[in-house]
Every structure is written in structure tokens, then in C-alpha cells.
Amino acid sequence: MKPIDEESLRELLKKDCLQGPRAALVAETKRLMREELLLAAEPVEIKQKGMIYVLAVLVVLICLNLFYMAAVGTILEFALPSSMAVFIRHSMIGVSVAGASLVSGAAMLIFFKMFQAQRVLGTKN
């Protein structure tokens, strides 16, 4: 008997030909996939909208913070008695710290959400 080479082994194995899935199973699978597709599209849209709102609120807060520091704080420093200057400086620092905390919090949130998405899938792709 001849030794079996790569090609004849392949040919022999391919003689064991199986039939594909039932048409009903394929149709049902497609229907379920289309439903999943619709379900998957909605939360993404909602999440994206949520992110936009968060960013808009952050921008407004930072603008108010800058406005307070640049305008109100400066004016108050001139207008109020010198004994109150320390409160104004503290409030300016406080507002700046709050703004910085919000921005760094949002950055961390985005970073960890991306990291989580990769882990949930559990594969390279």
C-alpha cells in the first residue's frame, strides 16, 4: 500500500461531507441577529448622547469657573474691603479645584470604560 500523502489525506477526509444547517434554523438565526442588531444600535446611541451632555455640562462649568476667576474675583478684590480678600482667594482656589476634579474624573471614566469594553469581549479582536 502506498504511503498516504498530504493531498490524498485531504481528499479522503473531504469525502466525509456533511450537510449544512436546516433552512428553518438559518432563518431563525437571521431573525434573532436582526433583532440583536436593533437592540445593539439603541444603547450606543443613548450612551453617545449621554457623553455629549456630560461634556457640555463640563464645558459650561469650566467657562463659569474661568469667568469667576477672571472677572468676578478680580472685581470683588477691588470692591470688597481688604479683610475679605482672603475669602475671595480661597473661593477662587476652591472653584478651580472643583473644575479640575470634574475634568480628571471625566477623563478617568472614559479611560476605564474603554478598558472595560476590551475586557468584556475577552478576545484580541
Partner 1 sequence: MNKSVAELDIQDESLLVERLKQGDPDAVNEVVDRYQKQLYCFILRLVGDQTTAEDIFQDTWLRVIRSIGYFRGEARFSTWLFQIALNLCRNLARQKSRRSFVPIEEAADLSEDPEVDAVKILQAQKVRKLVTSLPVKMREMIVLRYYHDFSDIEIAEITGHPVGTVKSRLHRATLILRNKIEVSGVMEPCSEEEEENETD
Helix (H, G, I), strand (E, B) or coil at 98: helix
Minimum CB separation of residue 68 from partner 1 in Å reads: 41
Site for partner 1, residues 38 to 57, rule: CB under 8 A: 38, 40-41, 44
Q: Can you tell me which residue has the cell 471614566?
A: 109
- Answer yes or no whether residue 74 interacts with partner 1 by CB under 8 A: no
Query: Can you say whether the dihedral through the CA atoms of 70, 72, 78, 84 is positive or negative?
Result: negative
- Answer yes or no whether residue 1 interacts with partner 1 by CB under 8 A: yes
Q: Whose Cβ is closer to partner 1: residue 90's or residue 113's? A: 113
Distance (Å, whole) CA 63 – CA 66: 5
Phi (first) and psi of residue 120, to 5 degrees: -60, -40
Q: Name the residues that contact partner 1, by CB under 8 A.
A: 1, 3-4, 8-10, 12-22, 25-26, 28-30, 32-34, 36-38, 40-41, 44, 117-118, 121, 123-125
